[in-house]
Structure formats: C-alpha cells, structure tokens
Amino acid sequence: MHSTLTDHARCLYGDEYRPTPECALEHHERYFVEELTFAHAEAILTMLHELCPHVVDGHLPVWIRNLAHRLVLLQRPDEPALLRGAADHLWMHGPDWDDIAAALVRRAEALEAG
C-alpha cells in the first residue's frame, strides 16, 4: 500500500517533476480511483498541487483531474479559491465544460460578495 494518495498517483501515472519511484506493488487504476473517491480534500489537493502545480502540466489524465476537483468541491463547496481552481482546470481542458466553469466562477463571486 502506498503511504499517500500522491505516492499512489505518482506510481500509477508518473510525475513530470520527479522520477517515478521504484515500486513492487501491482498497480490498477480502479484501486487508485477507489482511494481517490474516499480521500479527504487535503490529500486530493496535495496530489493536485504536487503532480500538476500548473494547470497545463502533469501526467494525471484529465478525467482523474476532473474527478479530483469534483470530490474536493463536494467536501468544501464554499471556498472561492477552490471553485476558481476547478474552473481554471475545466477551461484549460474544455471547451465541453466551459458552462460548468463559468457557473463555478459565478458561485465563487457570489460567495465573495457575501
């Protein structure tokens, strides 16, 4: 078992900034997705920040990034910075999700307006 969600993702997908660690574990994407699904927001955010520090980089598949952002927003729905970060990601990997990204920005603006 990997010690963190980030370690698991790094073993499975690689890391643009660090070498993929030697690992004797058998890797299956479904196990990673299961771990991601039940991870705390902080663990997910750490993974995203370490493996994709800039919106345009990283080896995580777009669908994994989308799922990660969605899971964070389900746990922390009222944080404008997280809403904007998810929107930035969707715009970068859209345009199919532009309407969702715009809605996230509107929600962030509404939260900031109080």
Q: Which amino acid is at 26?
A: E
Count of C-beta atoms within a 10 Å radius of residue 97: 19
Residue 15 pLDDT > 90? no
Q: What is the Cα–Cα distance from 43 to 38, expressed in whole angstroms?
A: 10
Residue 95 pLDDT > 90? no
Residues 3-14 have pLDDT tens digits of: 899 999 999 998
Q: Domains of the chain: which residue ranges?
A: 5-113
Residues 35-93 have pLDDT tens digits of: 999 999 999 999 999 999 887 888 999 999 999 999 999 999 999 999 999 999 999 88
Residue 1 pLDDT > 80? no
Angle between helix 80-92 and helix 98-113 axes, rounded to 10 deg: 160
